[in-house]
Amino acid sequence: MTAAPVRLTARALLLDMDGTLVNSDAVVERCFSRWAERNGLDPAEVLAVAHGRQGHATMALLLPDRPAELNLADNERILAEERADTEGVVPVPGAAAFLASLTGLPHALVTSADLPLARIRMTAAGLPMPSVLVTAESVGASKPDPEGFLKGAADLGFAPADCLAFEDSGAGIAAAKAAGVRVVGVGPRALPHHPDAHADTLTTVTVTAAPDGLLTVTVG
């Protein structure tokens, strides 16, 4: 039996990038598998927690006794590798039409990527960059800390409770929930983390705006 569509209302949308708008899994897997091997770790265990976090936060989680300066140095190395590697970077199905439907509506990108990487990946996927951006440089703490989503809501001029986040990872969903933002989970990684609604891809998501600006997001 097909599930009935889920409808949520919001005043603004907060959009993760990797795994939500852009499928960059191939690059992440290549770069973090190399890092895992350099540090004597199982690549599968690293990749199980790498999605959604800034690189140094992943490293701190996996190697808690490692000096922070080494994690930050490795983070810069991985970012450089990721910026140079766009092979396999493609839009999540439905992402282009979804972003086009948000033209003129309040929305922000809230990503753990830094600004150069975000621009490279959105361009590689052929997607337009939202005008309001919260990137790694914008925050002092990585997802699952809520800072990015709190900043995104504030930059758009709305309370977190009036926003709706789109996320694919456990870290991202936890960050949104901690900020008091409801979440539409996108893709298979999101489903185990109990988002408020779930879409296999963005092809099943529509957004309509009422004259008063209230957004209705239909999933399914």
Question: Which positions are annotated as active-site residues?
Answer: 16, 18
The tokens describing 69, both together, are: 């300066």
Alpha-carbon distance 134 to 42, whole Å?
A: 31
Longest dimension (CA), the chain: 57
Q: How far is CA 18 from the centre of its chain?
A: 5
